[in-house]
Chains A and B, each alone.
Chain A
Amino acid sequence: MAAIASIRMPGMVLLALVATGAALAAPRRDYLITGAKPDRLFVIDAAARTIKSEWSIPGANDLVATIVPSPDGRIAYVLVNKMESISGIDLDTGREVFRADLSTPGERVKCMFGFDVTPDGRELIVYELPVKLGLSEYQVEDTRFAVFDTAAGLDARPVRQFPAPRRIHTVLARKDGKSFFAFGFDLYEFDRVSGRQLGERGIRNWTYAQHSIPDLLAFWPASEPTGVFSTPVYSSVPAADGKGEVPKTALLTLDLTSGKLDYHDFEDTAALIFSTVLSPDRSEAFGVYSQLSRIDTRSNALAKRVDLDHTYYSVAVSTDGKEVYAAGAMCDVTVFDPVTLGRRANLKLPGCPDQSLASLRVVRR
Chain B
Amino acid sequence: MITRTRSSLMHLLAACIASLAAGAPGQGAAAAAVPTPPGPELLRGRCGGCHLQSGGDHFARISDIRKTPEGWLMTIVRMQHLHQAQLSAEERDTLVRYLADTQGLAPAETAPARYALERRPNVKDLQLPGDLQTMCARCHSAARIALQRRDAQDWLKHVHWHLAQWPTIEYQQNARDRLWWQKATTEVPQELGKLFPLHSQAWADWSQRPHADLSGTWLVHGHEPGQGDYWGVATIARTGDDEYRQTYALDTAAGEHVSGESKVILYTGFEWRGSGTRAAREVHEVYALSEDGGSLSGRWFEAAHPEIGADWQAVRAGPAQLLAVNPSALRTGAAARVIVLGSGLDGAVSFGPGTHSRVLERTAHSLSVEVRVDAAATPGYRQVSVGRLSAGQLFAVYDKVTRLEVSPAFAIARLGGGRIDPVAAQFDALAYTDLAGADGVTAVRLGYLPVRWSVQPYDQQARAAQDEKFAGRIDGTGRFLPAAAGPNPQRKFSGNNAGDLAVEASLEDMAPAVTGKAHLIVTVQRWNNPPIY
Contact = CB atoms under 8 A, between A and B. Distances in A.
Interface of A: 61-63, 82-83, 108, 110, 112, 129, 131, 133, 135-140, 166-167, 169, 185, 213, 215, 217, 290, 307-311, 330
Most interface-central of B52, B177, B180 (chain A CB within 10 A): B177
Contacts, number: 70
A310 B52 contact: no
A311 B493 contact: yes
B61 interface: yes
Contacts of B168: 112
Nearest to A308: B493
Interface string B1-29: 11100000000000000000000000000
Contacts of A62: 1-3
Given A62-B1, A167-B176, A310 B167 contact: no
Tell me what chain B mostly uses at the interface: helix, strand, loop, or mixed.
Answer: helix
B163 interface: yes
B171 A82 contact: no
Contacts of A167: 170-171, 176, 180-181
Nearest to B60: A136
A135 B52 contact: yes
B194 interface: no
17 contacts: A62-B2, A63-B2, A82-B1, A108-B164, A131-B167, A136-B51, A137-B60, A137-B157, A137-B161, A138-B161, A140-B181, A167-B171, A215-B173, A217-B171, A217-B176, A290-B493, A309-B489
A301 B493 CA distance: 24
Most interface-central of B180, B487, B493 (chain A CB within 10 A): B493
A166 B492 CA distance: 38
B160 A215 contact: no
Contacts of B163: 131, 140
A140 B1 contact: no
B167 A136 contact: no
Given A131-B164, A167-B176, 4 more contacts: A62-B1, A135-B60, A140-B163, A169-B171
Contacts of B50: 135-136
A133 B83 CA distance: 11
B68 to A, nearest CB: 21
Contacts of A166: 170, 181
Contacts of A310: 487, 493-494
A330 B493 CA distance: 12
B164 A309 contact: no
4 cross-chain pairs, A with B, having the tightest CB-CB distances, nearest first: A138-B164, A310-B494, A131-B164, A290-B493
A110 to B, nearest CB: 5
Interface residues of B, number: 29
A106 to B, nearest CB: 13
B201 interface: no
B160 A140 contact: yes
A137 B489 CA distance: 47
B370 to A, nearest CB: 62
B396 to A, nearest CB: 46
Contacts of A217: 171, 176
Nearest to A62: B1
Contact of B493 (A131, A135, A138, A307): A307
Contacts of B493: 290, 307-311
B460 interface: no
Contacts of B180: 167
A132 to B, nearest CB: 9
Contacts of A131: 163-164, 167
A305 B170 CA distance: 32
Most interface-central of B167, B168, B493 (chain A CB within 10 A): B167
B165 interface: yes
B185 to A, nearest CB: 8
A166 B171 CA distance: 10
Contacts of A112: 167-168, 171
Contacts of A82: 1
B167 A138 contact: no
B176 A309 contact: no
B467 to A, nearest CB: 17
Contacts of A108: 164
Given A110-B167, A112-B167, A138 B487 contact: no
Contacts of B161: 137-138
A141 to B, nearest CB: 9
B52 A61 contact: no
Contacts of A290: 493
B52 A215 contact: no
Nearest to A82: B1
A215 B177 CA distance: 7
A330 B488 CA distance: 13
B473 to A, nearest CB: 25
Contacts of B51: 135-136
Contacts of B157: 137
A136 B52 contact: yes
Given A82-B1, A136-B60, A217-B176, A307 B492 contact: yes
B160 A138 contact: yes
A129 B167 contact: yes
Given A135-B50, A138-B161, A330 B171 contact: no
Nearest to A109: B167
Interface in B159-205: 160-161, 163-165, 167-168, 170-171, 173, 176-177, 179-181
Contacts of A61: 1
Nearest to B59: A136
A136 B59 CA distance: 10
A108 B160 CA distance: 13
Interface in B481-533: 487, 489, 492-494
A308 B181 CA distance: 38
A63 B5 CA distance: 13
Nearest to B182: A166
Contacts of B489: 309
A319 to B, nearest CB: 29
A133 B3 CA distance: 24
Contacts of A311: 493-494
A36 B70 CA distance: 37
B324 to A, nearest CB: 50
A61 to B, nearest CB: 5
Contacts of B164: 108, 131, 133, 138-140
Nearest to B51: A136
A137 B492 contact: no
Contacts of A135: 50-52, 60
Contacts of A137: 60-61, 157, 160-161
A309 B494 contact: yes
A297 B147 CA distance: 53
A284 to B, nearest CB: 23
Contacts of B171: 112, 167, 169, 217
B162 to A, nearest CB: 9
Contacts of A215: 173, 176-177
Contacts of A213: 177
Contacts of A129: 167
A63 B238 CA distance: 52
Given A61-B1, A307-B493, A308-B493, A136 B165 contact: no
